[in-house]
Structure 1
């Protein structure tokens, strides 16, 4: 709200606030791309899944799966526990 003086009197100016529905919450999960979100959801359900299996399910190549996983790790949404062969994925934030 802003009050302005003018020659004829006062003017009150109301500015429309941001619509909470149109302005999404700054939640890291809401800020990820489509493939990242799909991978994140799969890792939540199947923490022992392999890169190869992820590639088949998501429909992109293994290199792009690795890139998306790196993005999720950089956003601290997932982390790898253990080795590549016998380890599993841990979802840090849901």
Structure 2
């Protein structure tokens, strides 16, 4: 759809400037919607990965998902909280 709108805007032989302006507005709105949908899908995917991660040990977690088309492997280092005493000892 974006390609079609770009072609209409860039190569249209229709002389009506209002039509081109409407296409530009539609393209802008559609891009904003696409951005929101991609952001939401990315957020949901990352939250799903976080939820399905398997705790390997105290500091490590992993996520593995396999399908016919793709294998996704994620490893994460889990930061442990540092006590105030440990911070004072480092100084």
- TM-score over 0.5 for the alignment? no
Which of these two proteins has the greater Rg computed from alpha carbons? 2
> Scaled by the length of structure 2, what TM-score is found?
0.32
Structure of greater relative contact order (alpha carbons < 8 Å, 6+ residues apart): 1
* Bigger share in helix: 2
